[in-house]
Amino acid sequence: MIGPNTNGDMPQIAASSYVHPTAVIIGNVIIKSNCFIGPMAVIRADEVDENGKVLPIIIKENCNIQDGVIIHSAKGKSVHIGPEVSITHGAIVHGPCTVETGCLIGFNAVVYNAFLEKDVVVLHNAVVEMVTIPSRKVVPANSTISYPEDFTRLQEYTPAIEAFCRKVIDTYKQLTYGYLMNSKS
């Protein structure tokens, strides 16, 4: 379902992006080119601030928002997803939130009120809240990072992790293209 929020804001979705028919995209959502929005994903920009506005959820180029992902934001807050970001199955991103270029958020991870600098990886079942994670760091699986003191648990971004992130982006670019071609036949 693609539809307006209570303010009448409609999603803006690039023609080169693929949205699965079971995805729900509501309100002031901007999805740039070559993105994949998977089955049962929910992207909802609908909470009105004190000025009667709904701030946007922006998803930049070449992102993949996989099955069952939820992206939402509190009133008066926004979510910005940079280019070539992978948000994998079942993850939740709740604004205010910024996820910069090349990040990967793993299965069932939660990112809330956080800033992920370039090339951050949040592994499965991790929680990141109310912090800025520095560029090229890895949040371990099943961990919670809520304070700068927790940064001692962050791992280094290795060439193997970089290659894995690149492989995910490339796979979903191919899927986006393939699904769009099939829908035109």
Residue 23 binned pLDDT confidence (cut-offs 50, 70, 90): very high
The mean pLDDT of the chain is 96
Domain boundaries, the chain: 2-184
What pLDDT sits at residue 184? Answer: 72
Residue 149 binned pLDDT confidence (cut-offs 50, 70, 90): confident
Q: Name the superfamily (CATH) of residues 2-184.
A: Hexapeptide repeat proteins (2.160.10.10)
Q: Which residues of 6-27 are buried (b: 16+ CB within 10 A; e: fewer)?
A: eeebebebeeebbbeeebebbb
Known catalytic residues?
47
- Phi and psi at 139, nearest 5°, equal -85, 120
Q: Tokens 């809240």 appear where?
A: 129
Residue 148 binned pLDDT confidence (cut-offs 50, 70, 90): confident
Mean per-residue pLDDT, 73-98: 96
The reported pTM is 0.95
What pLDDT sits at residue 85? Answer: 98
Mean per-residue pLDDT, 65-91: 97
Q: Which two tokens stand for residue 58?
A: 């922006």
Among the listed residues 11, 10, 65, the one whose alpha carbon sits nearest the alpha carbon of residue 40: 65
Mean per-residue pLDDT, 150-156: 94
Residue 121 binned pLDDT confidence (cut-offs 50, 70, 90): very high
Among the listed residues 159, 161, 157, 134, the one whose alpha carbon sits nearest the alpha carbon of residue 145: 134
Residue 61 binned pLDDT confidence (cut-offs 50, 70, 90): very high
Question: Measured between alpha carbons, how far is 143 from 63 in angstroms, rounded to an integer?
Answer: 25
Whether residue 66 contacts residue 88, with contact meaning beta carbons closer than 8 Å, is answered with yes
Q: Does 185 score more than 80 pLDDT?
A: no
